[in-house]
Amino acid sequence: MGGDHDKSFLAPKETFWKTVWSWVYTVDHKKIGVMYLVAVLLMFFLGGVAALGLRAELWEPARVIEQTVVDEATGRLVTETVKTGELFTMPDDSNINSNNIYNRLFSLHGTIMVFLFIIPAIPAALGNIFLPIMLGAKDVAFPKLNLTSWYVYLFGGALALLSLAMGGVETGWTFYTPYSTTTDWGNVTAMVLAAFILGFSSIFTGMNFIVTVHKMRVPGMGWFDMPLFVWALYATSIIQILATPVVGITLLMLVFERLFQVGIFDPALGGDPVLFQHFFWFYSHPAVYIMILPAFGVVSELIAVHAHKRLFGYRAIAFSSIGIASVSFLIWGHHMFTAESPSANIIFSALTFLVAIPTAIKVFNWVATYYKASIAWTTPMLYAAFFIFCFTIGGLTGPPLAVLATDIHLHDTYFVVAHFHYVMMGGTVLAFLGGLHHWWPKFTGKMYNENWARISSVLVFIGFNLTFFIQFFLGTQGMPRRYASYVEEFELMHKISTIGSWVLAIAFFMHLLVFVQSLLGGRKAPKNPWGGLTLEWYADAPPVEHNFPHEPVLTHGPYDYDLVVPPHWDPKDYPLPDPREVMRAHGHG
């Protein structure tokens, strides 16, 4: 190959500035993925700090108490009122009070976590790095478009942070009208435009992945020879392309209404605010699957590789990803049960139960794969198990919100907060962490301290459940979400939740130290530390610029653990089962 092409993609150039420019102008999908990874982790940190601030404010309810003190001037006893329980106190003459600060914090948390972290985390970071390698390709189909999507994300993120620096927004991440058309418009405009711009990054990435999957698979790789992570990214890309333009147009109409007084959503101008909800959730419910579908793909890889077993029901899992993507466009109305007609409510309630079928197919097949497997309880496998536990809770708490009778009581309570976080954090974030640990040795070339990583993962699991499980009880007892204070009966449960957030913060800090230690002093990673069979484990660690020294040859399926010794493994360390047993297991004898 010669030149720089046979060196690691992370290898520095001759000088510092050449190295910098090689990253600024790169069209290498791996470098773009690494830059996305750094960016989304930074956004995760900012969103997490905001979440800690929210939990700190909710440590105790706001109270006004009267106390008797001695007046220093007269020496007499006087009664004065004192406010307690407010973390964010402001001067009495300020136009901003503690509740405003709380609103801005949870809006910051939601906006950053949804638009700048969870949506791009797995597809744009891990997907960019590994999808072409898993297909045996040199790069994505449109490398320059890939670089463009990164800079569009960077520009949108900078605009969002500028909005926050200008004082933030109080609308939540949903930008509901008429509130978003009547409050702090300068800041809201910048944030809405940021979300609009970020949508283009998502569309570009989805287009690139779809064409790459269709046109750049290594010769001999059929659709059912692809890893399930690729299937999941393919289904996600379909949603990104079809749904993202809807929210883009919606947010643009919101800006036009304010700038030119066009009556679209504002009732004062003859508009309909419920129309905004329909447009917004037509995108944002499929966006939930943009967030969770890549996580499903990651978990499929983790379980197969670390259980060293053929995945149970490969085709069912693959088709269920496409099924989820299809059904996701039909159920947006379940976010609006309190704003729709009874007949629409009944239809959307019925359709909502439909999405449970393809999702349950995945969970049952993952659990079946564990049966009689040679499980290695590495950090990635721990995260896969934690994912199944937490996501199942998130899934089982969905039906009470889909049933009209119970949703009336649970709507806009902490039950919804807990359900959403069990799906998004207990699902997407845990899978992201599992995938990061799984592929870390491959794209960095360094191993991490497995013992400390395991301890950190267990603390994440404990902290997460301590934070959010108690919130189901808060919701069923009537605690509304988005409130900066509450009645005293909820104080103990809020304190338990806040303590859980501290445990989570400690666990994430430990993960950070594990990764830093790995980069600075970790031992060199072997090419295939876990015994995987997909094509990325044939590449060097870290891969060379064009991924492979020569075009790989596909000789087996992605999960043929009962037929093939993993690459770079000694056959003595990986005894294969009796071929006759394998044939009988697959119904051929």
Alpha carbon dihedral 329, 331, 336, 342, in 10-degree steps, equals 130
List Cβ neighbours of 120 (8 Å cut-off, separation of 6 or more).
36, 40, 153, 201, 202, 205
Q: 302-343 pLDDT, tens per residue?
A: 999 999 999 999 999 999 999 988 888 888 888 888 777 788
Q: Which DSSP string do the residues of 72-121 spell out, in sequence order?
A: TTT--EEEEEEEES-SS---TT-S--HHHHHHHHHHHHHHIIIIIIIHHI
Q: 265-280 pLDDT, tens per residue?
A: 888 888 888 888 888 8
- pLDDT for 144: 95
Exposure of 424 by Cβ count < 10 A (0-12 exposed, 13-18 middle, 19+ buried)? buried
* Of 110, 247, 113, 101, residue with least CA distance to 173: 110
Mean pLDDT of 338-351: 84
Neighbouring C-beta atoms of residue 151, cutoff 10 Å:
13
If one compares 177 and 91, the residue with the highest pLDDT of the two is 177
Q: 44-70 pLDDT, tens per residue?
A: 999 999 999 999 999 988 766 656 666
Q: Which helix (H) or strand (E) holds 150?
A: helix 143-165
List Cβ neighbours of 325 (8 Å cut-off, separation of 6 or more).
235, 236, 238, 239, 286, 289, 293
Distance CA 370, CA 303 (A): 8
Distance CA 346, CA 331 (A): 11
- pLDDT for 460: 97
- pLDDT for 338: 73
Long-range CB contact pairs, 24-27, < 8 A, 24+ = 25/147, 26/147, 27/139, 27/143, 27/144, 27/146, 27/147
The secondary structure of 356-423, three-state, reads HHHHHHHHHHHHHHHCCCCCCCCHHHHHHHHHHHHHHHHHHCCHHHHCHHHHHHHCCEHHHHHHHHHH
Neighbouring C-beta atoms of residue 16, cutoff 10 Å:
9
List Cβ neighbours of 251 (8 Å cut-off, separation of 6 or more).
175, 192, 193, 195, 196, 199
Q: What percent of the chain has pLDDT over 70?
A: 91
Contact 265/181 with Cβ under 8 angstroms? yes
Exposure of 404 by Cβ count < 10 A (0-12 exposed, 13-18 middle, 19+ buried)? middle
Mean pLDDT of 489-502: 95
Reply yes or no on whether the pLDDT at 119 is more than 80: yes
- pLDDT for 65: 63
Q: Which amino acid is at 488?
A: E
Contact 340/397 with Cβ under 8 angstroms? no
Q: Which amino acid is at 150?
A: W
The secondary structure of 309-370, three-state, reads CCCCCHHHHHHHHHHHHHHHHHCHHHHHHHHCCHHHHHHHHHHHHHCHHHHHHHHHHHHHHH
- pLDDT for 53: 92
Token look-up 């190295």 returns 19
Q: What is the mean pLDDT of the chain?
A: 88
Distance CA 106, CA 100 (A): 10
If one compares 571 and 217, the residue with the highest pLDDT of the two is 217
Reply yes or no on whether the pLDDT at 582 is more than 60: no
CA 564 to chain centre: 33
- pLDDT for 425: 94
Distance CA 272, CA 178 (A): 9
Quickly state the pLDDT bin for 567 (edges 50, 70, 90): confident
- pLDDT for 89: 67
Q: Name the DSSP class of 68.
A: E
**Number of residues that this document lists for the chain:** 589
Reply yes or no on whether the pLDDT at 583 is more than 60: no
Reply yes or no on whether the pLDDT at 39 is more than 90: yes
Q: Which amino acid is at 250?
A: T
Reply yes or no on whether the pLDDT at 369 is more than 50: yes
Distance CA 381, CA 299 (A): 9
Task: Give the number of C-alpha atoms closer than 13 A to the C-alpha of residue 515, restricted to the C-beta side.
Answer: 19
Reply yes or no on whether the pLDDT at 482 is more than 60: yes
List Cβ neighbours of 446 (8 Å cut-off, separation of 6 or more).
440, 518, 519, 522, 523, 524, 525
Structure tokens of 346? Answer: 């009944």
- pLDDT for 1: 45
Highest mean pLDDT among 389-393, 406-410, 568-572: 389-393
Q: Which helix (H) or strand (E) holds 67?
A: strand 63-70
Give the pairing type, strands 77-84 and 63-70: antiparallel
Contact 226/136 with Cβ under 8 angstroms? no
Distance CA 485, CA 493 (A): 13
Mean pLDDT of 116-142: 94
Quickly state the pLDDT bin for 509 (edges 50, 70, 90): very high
Of the ranges 368-382, 510-524, 551-565, which one carries the lowest mean pLDDT score?
Answer: 551-565
- pLDDT for 69: 66
Q: Which amino acid is at 298?
A: V
Contact 442/525 with Cβ under 8 angstroms? yes
Residue 277, SS3?
A: helix
Quickly state the pLDDT bin for 580 (edges 50, 70, 90): low
Taking the CA atoms of 405, 409, 415 and 416 in sequence, report the sign of the dihedral they define: positive
Q: Compute CA distances 163 → 52, 159, 509, whole Å.
A: 21, 6, 27
Reply yes or no on whether the pLDDT at 35 is more than 90: yes
